[in-house]
Amino acid sequence: MIWVYVVVMAMGSAPAKEDKFIVHATNLAFLTEESCQEWREYDMLRLYNTRPNENAKAVSQCFSLPLFKQGTKS
């Protein structure tokens, strides 16, 4: 199995034209659920602390997928 960390960031309202911000919401893959959940905890705090405004929300999830090696059949 491979564990995939996915983030969705939503703005509660449209930013003003003069507002400038950068949101780093990286989607990553991990070999264990524990490492994915550890990263999720760290990253959600970072996303909350760097959100562009108070209305911005982030949702994240770790989920498992089968790990296929190149040249093998499912």
- The number of helices, as runs of H, and strands, as runs of E, in the chain is 1, 3
How do 28-30 and 57-65 pair as beta strands? Answer: unpaired
pLDDT higher for 30 or 68?
A: 30
31 inside domain: yes
70 inside domain: no
Domains held by the chain: number: 1
Q: What is the DSSP string of 25-41?
A: ---EEESSHHHHHHHHH
17 inside domain: no
Domain region containing 38: 2-12+26-65
The pLDDT tens digits for 2-15 are: 999 998 887 777 76
- Please tell me whether the overall predicted TM-score, pTM, comes out greater than 0.85 for this model: no
How far is residue 40's CA from residue 51's CA, in Å, rounded to a whole number? Answer: 16
53 inside domain: yes
